[in-house]
């Protein structure tokens, strides 16, 4: 069974990761870095593709706890779109079953190590309460961090750590010792 909210052409491109062709427009970064003569490309989408056998479980986790929508779902591939601000399209995530038929083979199933998915929200405390009440596993409690975040962590069924953050004022002088002078 396949469900989609995109055209067949977009679905095929997403299924093979072609939408993640990549560069960041310098204006989006406030002209922080230049492209050093490289040709400018427009980013259509950029998302992690996580290999897991838990496709239904991660779908239910992100749809139920974070309001994502299923944009494309097949037996071996899942593409989710999150809610954005002001009714815009938000972040995207993709998951692939380890027995997928695409080439080349790999990657191996995600082992839960070395990756944190950060979800920035406007009210981390209310999201924490809602996820905790909904049974999401809590890995780190709701905490106000000196560097300027109110945050907590959960873990999705594929093993990905999900760091839910709200930007708040940092402690006075916290960043002084860490800033890099250009």
Confidence check: pLDDT of 29 > 90: no
Q: Are residues 91 and 116 in the same domain?
A: no
Q: Are residues 87 and 2 in the same domain?
A: yes
Tell me the mean pLDDT in the region 116-121: 94
Q: Are residues 22 and 69 in the same domain?
A: yes
Tell me the mean pLDDT in the region 85-110: 84
CA 39 to chain centre: 27
Distance CA 26, CA 8 (A): 31
Among 78, 105, 132, the domain-final residue is 105
Q: Across all residues in the chain, what is the average pLDDT?
A: 82
**pLDDT bracket for residue 112 (50, 70, 90):** confident
Q: Are residues 32 and 122 in the same domain?
A: no
Distance CA 166, CA 104 (A): 39
Share of the chain above pLDDT 90, in %: 60
Distance CA 116, CA 163 (A): 7
Tell me the mean pLDDT in the region 112-118: 91
Tell me the mean pLDDT in the region 156-166: 96
CATH number of the domain bearing residue 4: 3.30.720.120
Q: Are residues 119 and 98 in the same domain?
A: no
Report how many domains make up the chain.
2
Q: Are residues 3 and 68 in the same domain?
A: yes
Identify the domain containing residue 69 by its residue range.
1-105
**pLDDT bracket for residue 92 (50, 70, 90):** very high
pLDDT of residue 107: 75
Q: Are residues 128 and 162 in the same domain?
A: yes
Tell me the mean pLDDT in the region 11-39: 45
Confidence check: pLDDT of 147 > 90: yes
| Cβ neighbours of 94 (radius 10 Å) | 21
Torsion angles phi and psi, residue 30, rounded to 5 = 65, 30
CATH number of the domain bearing residue 141: 3.30.720.110
- Kind of pairing, strands 161-167 and 89-96? unpaired
Q: What is the CA radius of gyration of the chain?
A: 18
Ranges of H-type helices in 23-160: 55-66, 124-133
Distance CA 43, CA 25 (A): 8
- What is the 8-class DSSP label of residue 146? T
pLDDT of residue 32: 52
Among 125, 175, 123, 122, CA closest to 148:
175
**pLDDT bracket for residue 8 (50, 70, 90):** very low
């Amino acid at each position: 069974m396949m469900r989609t909210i995109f055209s067949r052409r977009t679905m095929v491109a997403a299924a093979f990761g072609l939408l993640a062709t990549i560069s960041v427009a310098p204006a989006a970064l406030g002209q922080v870095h230049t492209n050093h003569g490289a040709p400018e490309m427009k980013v259509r989408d950029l998302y992690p593709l996580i290999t897991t056998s838990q496709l239904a479980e991660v779908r239910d986790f992100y749809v139920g706890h974070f309001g994502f929508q299923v944009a494309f779902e097949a037996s071996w591939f899942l593409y989710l779109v999150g809610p954005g601000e002001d009714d815009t399209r938000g972040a995207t995530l993709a998951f692939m079953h380890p027995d997928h038929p695409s080439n080349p083979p790999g990657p191996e199933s995600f082992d839960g190590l070395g990756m944190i998915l950060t979800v920035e929200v406007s009210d981390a405390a209310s999201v924490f309460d809602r996820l905790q009440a909904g049974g999401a596993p809590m890995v780190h409690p709701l905490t106000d961090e000196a560097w300027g975040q109110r945050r907590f962590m959960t873990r999705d069924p594929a093993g990905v750590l999900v760091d839910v953050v709200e930007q708040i004022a940092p402690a006075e002088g916290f960043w002084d010792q860490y800033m890099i002078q250009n």
